[in-house]
Amino acid sequence: MREASHIAGCFSSRVRHLLHLHVARGIQRYKLRLRQCFKNDQQTMAEEGRMLIEYVTMNAIAIRKILKKYDKVHCSVNGNNFKSKMQAEHIELLQSPWLIELGAFYLNFDGIDGGEFSEFCSQFSCDLNGTEPVMTLTLPNSMKLEYSLTCAICLETVFNPYALSCGHLFCKLCACSAAFVLMFEGLKTASSNAKCPICREAGVYTNAVHMLELDLLLKRRCNEYWKERMAAEHAEDVKQTREYWDSRTKYAIGY
């Protein structure tokens, strides 16, 4: 279990580093490049992402083989315990939100011209026009994964998406509503008792992952929808902020 946790932590850390370089702008990008001495070259970033996908796939296959051995030798008891612990600690590699972010990274990538990288990128697809928006990742060893991009609260394609620690995706506005926090306060201020609307697990908001690459993908492919949702979210944010400060002012003056 310790090794699996280390693998998941290493994967998320490296993907976070890579994607911060890709989505960073202005002075932030300059600081990241200067501090970490990372050559922000598109080909280098694409190669780094491919190695990370191969890394997570290789380890996911290894864990599956271990579980099969448990099933064969221990009649599934230890295997089920191992699976339960991985789910409880959120270290299931193929359910990591960072894997979805890597898929969105490649779908956003426009700096690869032909060759093996074009073939590699073709393994990723995103259907936003079907009945249910879905991202499909075909990993090495013909492992095919599908991730729903529908928010379970508003039942629309996720906008400004966040992945909770349990792995479920929601719009930021919807997640804040479920956690009983205001948008300008952010999910990190959510109570440790706040539960995921789907799995009802508590304490999953504090370490929620902001899916910046996925949001960029939606902005590029569904620009009108993205603009509409952006305007609605901004209006709600302004409304919540105004109501909050109005109430605080009235309280302060004893009105």
Encode pLDDT of 52-70 as tens digits. Answer: 887 777 777 777 776 666 6
> For residue 189, is it within any domain?
yes
CATH of residue 167's domain is 3.30.40.10
Which amino acid is located at 104 in the chain? A
> For residue 61, is it within any domain?
no
> For residue 77, is it within any domain?
no
pLDDT < 70 regions, the chain: 1-4, 7, 21-42, 66-93, 110-120, 140-142, 255
The torsion defined by the Cα of 48, 108, 25 and 21, in degrees rounded to 10, comes to: -10
* Distinct helix (H) and strand (E) counts, the chain: 9, 6
Encode pLDDT of 136-191 as tens digits. Answer: 888 766 678 889 999 999 999 999 999 998 889 999 999 999 999 999 999 999 99
Number of domains in the chain: 1
> For residue 88, is it within any domain?
no
Domain, as residue range, for 218: 152-255
> For residue 49, is it within any domain?
no
Q: How far apart are CA 110 and CA 211, in angstroms?
A: 19
> For residue 133, is it within any domain?
no
> For residue 238, is it within any domain?
yes
Output the pTM of the full model: 0.78
> For residue 201, is it within any domain?
yes
